[in-house]
Structure 1
Amino acid sequence: MPEFTKWPSFPFEGDIRVKQIDDPVEVEPSRKGEDSADCVACAAPDEAYIWVSDRWRVRAMDQPSGLPMVLILESRSHLDLGDLPNLLAAELGVMTVRLERAVRSLDGVARVHVNRWGDGSAHLHMWFLARPYGRLQLRGTFLSLWDAILPPIPEMQWRENLALVAAWLAEFGGRPLAEPPHIQWQAPSSFSADGDTDTEIGAGTGTTRESDSNGTSAPTPAEPISSVAALEEPDDEAAATQAASASPDPAGDATPTNA
């Protein structure tokens, strides 16, 4: 077994077996959204983000996760990292530092991990993951795995954190779209023995849904991003299909780096 399985930060214990390494394919499959016409990031409206500007947008998960904050910085233009012109390349450095400071300003955040994989989606996106203060076991390269393992943080705290980061970024320009949580109460227009409707807060960054007496609900549709893996996991089915078509004899994730 590799040495990192003995690190205190390794999330798993017990019997572990290394997968068999597949033979390399002759032609790698296309990533999701290689064509801007099929790109989810290009098609997403500004309202799906917590902060936007003319050239950059910042997006959150569709629901709270185990870390205090997980955010994605995207270029508005359909470009990958190596395709950035000098202006956007210089701005990427500024935006990276600015967003790291915004996330690190939140209560209970010790460090902010900045990651870029790019194997799952073609549109440039940088990950910002907040490591909770005092959680020494979460230090290092496995933070994105711990995010999916830890119980989600309270939704009210998550929404407040989103609004704080958006407001912090807006101090330097752009437009904040995340709002702090509102007081959840209703003043009825009339009193009755059996109420017909109630309102509950949805799981997304600003989604509400109304439930009637028969228990049905109509949630506002949104493009979900539930975890790092949801966006970064390559399409194995597409890879297998393309590999099979490229060669009659079939002979394939990435290690995160922190900045």
Structure 2
Amino acid sequence: MHDTPPAVPDFTSWPSFPFEGDLRVKHLDDPVPVEPPRKGEGNRECTACAAPDDAYIWVGERWRVRAMDRPTGLPMVLILESRSHLDLGDLPNLLAAELGVMTVRLEKAVRSLDGVARVHVNRWGDGSAHLHLWFLARPYGRLQLRGTFLSLWDSILPPISEQQWRENLAMVAAWLAEFGGRPLAEPPRIQWQAPSSIGAQASPGPVGEDDGVGVIEAAEEIPEPVDGPTDAAR
């Protein structure tokens, strides 16, 4: 007797669902007896612990904030990490209390950017054992991007300009630095270039031609397919 695939869920008809057309639900794989180790578990290297401060936009005594390596479709996507190699449920009381404070500060900083309506705060943690929270800015007026599927839209929308992205990073870093720590993101430099003749005009370079790396493509959150319980996940 053949298995009957489950019906397509109701959320595929929501206005926020990014796809249309014929859809089919995948068959659910059998559960594995032992889950593969995440980054930072067992003998697997922790990329967060190995990352230098200059890979972040803001650093403090116990927390660091980093961005994607290039612009993506949303106005801002940031990750809050603890310096200590701990997961969410392992935080001592001091860091647990500071996590609440840092979450509020970073949410306010991102929401203060022009054109940002809401900030989604997410924690998955399936790929890395080092605590990291995601902050995703939803553009103002883009009601279709509300809710569950914002991280998917980040990979679908065309990337914002690199200049605007760098300005946003610098503003968030400066905002956080008002409470301490060091801002490491700088705004883009203005190119003061005189035209060669009176009638000449400077032409801007290409903007947004490269595809950005969206939230769901980040290595920490997408384990590779495994053939057995001992295979490593990304």
Short-chain TM bin? 0.7 to 0.9
1:1-259 aligned at under 5 Å gives the runs 1-35=8-42, 38-184=45-191, 226-229=213-216, 230=218, 231-237=220-226, 240-242=227-229
* SS at 2:228 equivalent: helix
Aligned AA (2:45): D
Give the superposition deviation at 1:235: 2.7
In the superposition, the TM-score normalised over structure 1's length comes to 0.76
The residue matched to 2:229 in structure 1 has which SS?
helix
Distance in 1 between residues matched to 2:144 and 2:70, nearest whole Å = 24
Secondary structure of 1:68's aligned partner: coil
- Maintained 8 Å contact 1:67/1:152: yes
- Which amino acid letter does the alignment assign opposite residue 236 of structure 1? P
SS in 2 for 1:241: coil
Return the offset for 1:36: 8.0
CA 155–241 in structure 1, closer or farther in 2 if over 3 Å, else same: same
Percent identical among aligned pairs is 80
What residue is the counterpart of 2:202 in the other structure? none
Unaligned runs of 5+ residues in structure 1 are: 188-199, 204-224, 245-259
* Separation in structure 2 between the aligned mates of residue 37 and residue 29 of structure 1, nearest angstrom: 11
Counterpart of 2:175, as a letter, is W
**1: CA distance, partners of 2:36 / 2:44:** 18
Q: Is the Cα–Cα contact under 8 Å of residues 111 and 118 in structure 2 kept in the other structure?
A: yes
The answer to whether the 8 Å contact 2:73/2:214 transfers is: no
8 Å contact kept, 1:36–1:78: no
SS at match of 2:69: coil
3-state SS of 1:131 partner? strand
Which amino acid letter does the alignment assign opposite residue 168 of structure 1? W
**Runs of at least 4 residues off by over 6 Å:** none
